[in-house]
Chain A
Amino acid sequence: MKHDITTPLFHGLSTRLLLWFLLLSLLPLAVLGFSSYYNAKISMQHEATIKLVSIARFKAQQLEGYFTNISKSLIALSRSGSVLGALPAAEIAFKDGGVLSQNYIAVERTYRPLLSHYAQTDENHDLFLISTDGDIVFTLAREKDLGTNLMTGPYQDSVLAKLFAEVMYTHNVGVSGFDFYKPSNKLAGFIATPVFKRNKLVGVLALQVNMNQINRLAIDYSGLGSTGETVLAARDANELMFLTQLRFDAQAAFKRTTEIGSTLALPMQQALQGSGGKGFSTDYRGVNVLAVWQYLPHTRLGMVIKMDITEAFADVDRLTEISLLIALLTVIAVIIAALFISKSLAAPIGRLTNAIRDIEHGDYSGRIKTDSSDEIGELATAFNSMADSLDHQRQQVLVKTAQIKKRSATLAAANEEIKSFAYIVSHDLRSPLVNMKGFSTELQFTLTEINEIITQCSDRLEPDEREEMLRLINEDAPESMQFISTSVDKMDNMLTAILKLSRFGRRELQFEDIDLKAVCNEMLNSLKHQIEAMQTQIHMEELPTIYNDRLVIEQIMGNLLGNAVKYLSPERPGEIHISSSSSNAGITITVSDNGYGIGEDEKDKVFQIFRRGKHTEMKGEGMGLAYVQTLVRAQDGNITFESIENEGSRFIVYLPINKQGKE
């Protein structure tokens, strides 16, 4: 018989091994991997943040430095003779005749070369001299704003006008926000400082700066990868205005706005509220970013340095991928190793299982080939020798079984032969007995006739001859015939007994409910005379009703009780105990007495036919226990006894419950 070994193998040992291998290898890997991954992620975040922070610091310094330098040089310029001279002169000339007057042109011609040091450059667009009452009395660029009043003129709402008012109030240098400046038709911011002459405020010196410097700052992406950028924005009422082009919106400068309080550009909103910080947030596009933000007080700008999280943590993601790859490779390696090891472990076990199953199904030929000397090798060797031994024992059992079969057939035949032998013999032996008995009686009749004849002719004989003849006829011949007759009777009794035994053995049982107690009482009643004579005490326990053949039970109890009473010792009062115990299998009936008992030399003859105890003064044919044994055996029961001479005997009969059962 062949068994598929791969299926149980795969579901059994190999699966368990695989799971354990995976557990043992992946658990530490997972712990280590996770902790190092976590640490790496933290440090990478930290590094990315630090980078952004330093960039922010650098850019803030750059911007602040730029404005500080301009402010310093502007303050220096405001104290120079050129400005101190030019401002009152230009103011007087302007107030006298406006910017087109001869007088003003003369003043301008005098001072322009001195102030043209601040000629239009990439950085600086224009230089203003403003009187204390707000008149722009001098500009280098001579744009439309020249000659207008910042408090009452057309540009009174410009950032320059606001800055002028601030400086006039604070008497200190100031920087404006950036905004579209109409006279220049471009974006511009302003720096202004008060001009004092002999400690008296005489006007304001202002410088218009371009966005160039700020734009350069904003579009300098060095150290910011492919998504990082510097964002500068100013607050405009309820909105924030982006001042420079954005990396993801080239047209953003002074066009793109975001409402304060919206969910976009959160770092910038915070920066413009005056707070600085760093962390994860959402930028103007709604993308998750790592950001550093701060407020730049000089310029009143908010600055955000930010980078998309995906890029900031690209290293982290790469680390994740590498970790997963390592884990995957480990799993594959573990699976291969587990399969290999479990196959090398389980394959011999599978072969062993098959061989054992073969033995279970009767094929003892299977042996396990093994070269290994490990435990599995030992197991295989042990199995092989066990199989050898089993096979050998099985062969022996087969031989013995065959012998037993043969013998039981012989025994059964012999048993049948004995039964029919007993039956036939007891019949056929009777036939000659009839003749012996018959003809000896006939002989008696003949002798009687002879006697009559002799009596009639007695006178013809000598007296002594006649005496002798009569003696022979009347004494010797009858005596011989008497012996013949007695022997024939004895033999007839014995044949009858054998016949009875044979019939008991072949009896067809008639099962019925029998009250065992009633049967015992009946038997004891018939023995009443002897029981009283021996002053016998009968102890009878509760006895059950049993389902059996009445004649059989009567024979058994009659013989056992009869023997118990018959062989009581006259030296002591008799005591007879009757008890029984039932089980699912059958009933055990015990009859014990305190009589003569059975001597050791007689014990093997107890159940033989025509054997009687030593005390032959007792009547009996010597068949009782032979009958009981035959009846009990016919029901597959048995009878045993225990006896001590001069103390008593105990006979134990076991009858199995009738197989047909009651129901």
Chain B
Amino acid sequence: MITDKNTAEVTIVLAEDDEGHAKLTEKNLRRAGINNPVQWCKNGQEAVDFVTDVATGSDDSHIDSLLILLDLNMPIMDGYMVLEKLKADEKTRKIPVIVLTTTDDKREVKRCYELGCNIYITKPVDYAGFSHAIRELGLFLNVVKIPDLS
């Protein structure tokens, strides 16, 4: 298992209304060696509230230690609104957002990138594919944190 004390500081905010999806995502992240704390939010509003709390209650370093895995179809506040809100706020603007959803519609992908998402990942129904995608994400997360070391 690959661990790193720098990446360990990063809290992964998982905005996902489906508890099953949340659990499967977390399981696969763990299998991919990601041991960071995962904060599960049942809807967009909870995710925004959590991020806002962190942002107001601490300094920039805490904000830097957040990463958001965002589903699009959620009750109360959907993924697009979350993206909009976070990217509109100067304090939360820099938080990396990875959209993780079942939709692979080109227009939706385009819309997410336009709103400022960093990566768009489709959750396939095929579980092998699903696991693979999440593991790739895990590897990716390990890689992107390397510049922080220097």
Contact = CB atoms under 8 A, between A and B. Distances in A.
Interface of A: 427-428, 430-435, 437-442, 488-489, 492, 503
Contacts, number: 48
B127 to A, nearest CB: 4
B67 to A, nearest CB: 22
B102 A431 contact: yes
A433 B125 CA distance: 6
A427 B101 CA distance: 10
Interface string B121-141: 001111110100000000000
Contacts of A435: 18, 20-21, 24
Nearest to A502: B105
Given A430-B125, A437-B126, A440-B127, 11 more contacts: A431-B18, A431-B21, A431-B73, A434-B20, A437-B125, A437-B130, A438-B20, A438-B127, A438-B130, A442-B24, A492-B125
Interface in B1-47: 18, 20-21, 24, 27
A621 to B, nearest CB: 16
B65 interface: no
A437 B128 CA distance: 9
Contact of A434 (B73, B105, B123, B128): B123
A437 B127 contact: yes
Contacts of B27: 442
B128 to A, nearest CB: 8
B142 interface: no
Contacts of A431: 18, 21, 73, 102
Given A435-B18, A438-B24, A442-B27, A430 B127 contact: no
B135 to A, nearest CB: 14
A435 B125 CA distance: 8
The list of the 7 closest CB pairs from A to B, nearest first, reads: A435-B20, A441-B127, A438-B24, A492-B125, A430-B102, A433-B125, A437-B127
A216 to B, nearest CB: 138
Contact of B24 (A427, A430, A434, A489): A434
Given A434-B24, A439-B24, A427 B127 contact: no
Nearest to B24: A438
Contacts of B126: 437, 489, 492
Nearest to B19: A435
23 contacts: A427-B73, A427-B103, A428-B73, A430-B102, A431-B73, A431-B102, A432-B20, A434-B18, A434-B24, A434-B123, A434-B124, A435-B20, A437-B130, A438-B127, A439-B20, A439-B24, A440-B127, A442-B27, A488-B125, A489-B125, A489-B126, A492-B125, A503-B105
B37 to A, nearest CB: 22
Nearest to A427: B103
Of A431, A433, A488, the most chain B CB neighbours within 10 A belong to A431
Contacts of A430: 102, 125
A137 B82 CA distance: 175
A438 B123 CA distance: 11
A489 to B, nearest CB: 8
Contacts of B73: 427-428, 431
B103 A434 contact: no
A424 to B, nearest CB: 9
A433 B126 CA distance: 9
Nearest to B126: A437
B122 to A, nearest CB: 10
A233 to B, nearest CB: 131
